[in-house]
Amino acid sequence: MVIFLVLNGRARRRSFAALLVLCTTTNWAADWPADAMVDTRFPMRTLIPKVVVDSGKLEWVPHDIDLTAFVTPSHLDLRPTPKPQKAVYTPPLNGDAKRGRSLVMDARAAACVTCHEVPGEQWPGNVGPSLHRYKMQQRTAAELYQQIFDVRVNLPQAVMPPFGTMGILSDQDIRDIVACLQTCE
């Protein structure tokens, strides 16, 4: 069976992944680019790895959100996507850094650790910038909120998913992640 790897909502050919999309049905990939790694003989499902305790194995379980509609990074992928959206951030932040950290680490939520190196973790995130010493950048809460809500507003070619625009994270989820980022040393 051919598999299509999806990393944080974006297709990636990597040796590790936060999400796995098993490609399964005949018509679902009609609009996908010719260079996408898919096998249209099977229906499409979005799966996520779950560690089987004390076994050294992973079990693949359904993800809460179907990520098959997300575009791939292929230049041939011409499927429509929501336009970049400017976030509406209203202070105060009122974010919970501890909850934000759990969202950063949770593959069913933001899964930032999939692409970013996170202080105190040994995950090999190497797609996005490291979050070590992120606090030193002294970005405002509004700037960080926008970056997580829809990074494409400021970086049109970014591969980070537009978490707010796509409805993946709630307003409070984003506020909590911002609070977490403001503590990363």
Tell me which fold the domain 97-181 belongs to: Cytochrome Bc1 Complex; Chain D, domain 2 (1.10.760)
pLDDT(50) > 80: no
Give residue limits of the domains in the chain: 3-62, 97-181
Give the pLDDT confidence score for residue 62 in this predicted structure: 72
In tens, the pLDDT along 126-145 reads 778 888 888 888 899 999 99
In tens, the pLDDT along 55-65 reads 888 777 776 66
CA distances from 173 to 63, 103, 142, 177 (A): 18, 7, 14, 6
For residue 29, name the pLDDT band (cuts at 50, 70, 90): low
CA distance 20 to 172: 27
Tell me the pTM: 0.67
> Who contacts 118 (Cβ-Cβ below 8 Å, separation ≥6)?
104, 105, 112, 125, 131, 184
